[in-house]
Amino acid sequence: MEYRHLGKAGVKVSEVALGSWLTYGGAVEEETAIACVHKAYELGINFFDTANVYARGEAERVLAKALAPFPRDSYVLATKVFFPMGEGPNDRGLSAKHIYEQCHASLKRLRTDYIDLYQCHRYDPETPLEETLRALDRLVQQGKVLYVGVSEWSAVQICDAVHLARQLNLNRIVSNQPYYNMLGRGIERDVIPLCEREGIGQVVFSPLAQGVLTGKYQPGQPPPAGTRAADERQNMFLRLDDATLAKVQKLKPIAERRGLTMAQMALAWCLRQPNVSSVITGASRPEQVVDNAAASGMKLSEQDLADIDAALE
């Protein structure tokens, strides 16, 4: 496993991370989830990502149980705040009240004294940005959070936060967690150039397009039993139209000539970007963790990248 800095922060994270969206605390049995976390740790993965809203706190509880045998200083733990955690008017968003209360709730569920990376799960247009940044800064000052990040913020929103934090002398944002993969390259135009200038690293989610880029879904055929696409709880963002699946099939010869699995090539493609600090992978079996982790350190040639672009048009 190779490691990269989280943006320009001093902390280093594994190139391949393990996340718990749609899986741990929900669709995957707890015993299997714990086995996946243990396999990841064994392979050198030190970066584990979750969120308070995943299975309404259950993902954090399962992750805490899985990580309990390991020294706290040996891994980087990331969680998030924003989405509703209750029915009350203040049980959502990025107000100082919600951030403060949810940070402490996450600390309790995660069984830890501090969160390495605390991320704003989305931008909150209903709360003044200064209120959000000051609330996060207070958590850092109190030692309950070490680093602050955001997820799915636009370039303009990130830019505003960077300049306001600088103006107010607050702790800066070190990471952004965007959707990014071969089929979704939107951040390349504005977000990555801005973040490169400001020292903010990308921690990308869905680098395999929820399994579509593994090649296991065939055009004109129903999803195989046991896959994410066959599970209504997990398939809400999948791109399963035949045109997309046909393009993905064209990637297979490129991966085969390099001796890579489709998943490994897709992860290596994301990691070709220097601004990408880590790719967050999901896993419902330890074997998937092994396959994904092997992508660390793999380099694609210029010809590989050109052929991938051509295959996906």
**Residue 12 DSSP label:** E
**pLDDT tens string 72-98:** 999 999 999 999 999 999 999 999 999
Which own/partner contact pairs does 185-193 have at CB distance under 8 Å and 24+ positions apart? 190/154, 190/155, 191/154, 191/155, 191/158, 192/273, 192/275, 193/155
Within a domain: residue 57?
yes
Active-site hit among 54, 75, 118, 180:
54
User: Domain tally for the chain?
Assistant: 1
Within a domain: residue 87?
yes
Within a domain: residue 295?
no
- Which of the pair, 238 or 117, is modelled with greater confidence? 117
Within a domain: residue 240?
no
- Residue-range definition of the domain harbouring residue 76: 3-208+273-285
Residue 54 is among the residues annotated as catalytic for this protein: yes
CB-based contact 165:171 (threshold 8 Å): yes
Mean pLDDT of the chain: 94
**Residue 204 parent element (H or E):** strand 201-205
CB-based contact 31:23 (threshold 8 Å): no
The pTM of this model reads 0.93
The CA distance from 134 to 123, in Å, is 15
Res. 6 pLDDT band, cuts 50 70 90 = very high
The CA distance from 62 to 72, in Å, is 16
In sequence order, what are the residues at sequence separation of 6 or more whose Cβ sits closer than 8 angstroms to the Cβ of residue 100?
135, 138, 139
Res. 109 pLDDT band, cuts 50 70 90 = very high
Within a domain: residue 129?
yes
Within a domain: residue 7?
yes
Within a domain: residue 226?
no
Res. 229 pLDDT band, cuts 50 70 90 = low
Q: Residue 204: give its domain's CATH number.
A: 3.20.20.100
Within a domain: residue 243?
no
Res. 241 pLDDT band, cuts 50 70 90 = confident
Angle at 125 between CA 119 and CA 131, to 5 degrees: 65
CB atoms within 10 A of CB 66: 22
Q: What is the pLDDT of residue 115?
A: 98
